[in-house]
Amino acid sequence: MAAAHSFSPFSLLVFARLSASIVAFLVLTWALYFQTSFYPHSSSPQEEDLIYAVLHPLLMVIGFILISGEAILVHRWLPGSRNSKKSVHLCLQGLALACGIFGIWTKFHSRDGIVANFYSLHSWMGIICVSLFGAQWLMGFLSFWHRGEVRMTRIRILPWHVFLDLYTYGLAVATAETGLLEKLTFLQTNGAVQKRCTESMIVNGMGLSLALLSGMVIFAAVLPKYQTPHSKSVYSSNKLHS
């Protein structure tokens, strides 16, 4: 209990933003400076195929994971009314969903077709993750923004919405980890990348940074809102006089 209170939302936000910045820097470096690792393994690869292959990790990591994580943290740092926070949260989640859908489309855009790319655990988890993310986004939109919904219905749905929000975020990070492992293992097995080289260190560092980021985001989301000593004393006084 004491350890949890020693962490303020501000410090968690700082660590989360720092981890997100490291992840963004590493994935940009990997995609832009090691493009040979993304060349499609087909008989006649096209420049368009390389562009889609590079876009996939950028959209799924920066567009899907980082933006959805920022949407989760909105309620911790954004000032203003509850409705304004929900509006920003909904918009960021919608943007993350669009990036996730387009990111999967780039992967399945190859001339081999969808079935040829739908074979690994990474691809299965990716489809499930984006589908669940879309379902929870739609559920959140209908439950919290449709004025016809009664208050008790929204109260009952809220725990499920929060659970799906955190679950899909954790699943997205796990899916990215399997994708990094799959890609790096493939490159090392074919001799394209050495086990101890700059690219391997970048990919492994990205995986560790994603794991750290997910922990910070989920911890910040479930941590009780920070109470100052003054607010605690007022709360205790009101409780004694009630």
> Span 41-65, mean pLDDT?
81
Least confident of 91-95, 167-171, 226-230: 226-230
pLDDT of residue 71: 92
Mean of the per-residue pLDDT values of the chain: 81
Taking only the tens place, the pLDDT of each residue in 64-81 is 999 999 999 988 777 877
pLDDT of residue 2: 47
pLDDT of residue 227: 44
Q: Identify the band that residue 224 occupies on the pLDDT scale cut at 50, 70 and 90.
A: confident
pLDDT over 70 at 46, yes or no: no
Helices (H), ranges, the chain:
2-5, 9-33, 47-57, 67-77, 82-107, 114-117, 121-145, 151-189, 198-222, 229-241
Two tokens, residue 96: 């993350």
pLDDT of residue 18: 92
Share of the chain above pLDDT 70, in %: 78
Taking only the tens place, the pLDDT of each residue in 96-125 is 999 999 999 887 776 555 666 677 899 999
Q: Identify the band that residue 63 occupies on the pLDDT scale cut at 50, 70 and 90.
A: very high
Q: How far is Cα 196 from Cα 194, in angstroms, rounded to an integer?
A: 5
Under DSSP, the state recorded for 84 is H
Q: How many other CB atoms are found less than 10 A from the CB of residue 85?
A: 16
Under DSSP, the state recorded for 35 is G
pLDDT over 90 at 8, yes or no: no
- Judged on CB neighbours under 10 Å (0-12, 13-18, 19+), 165 is buried
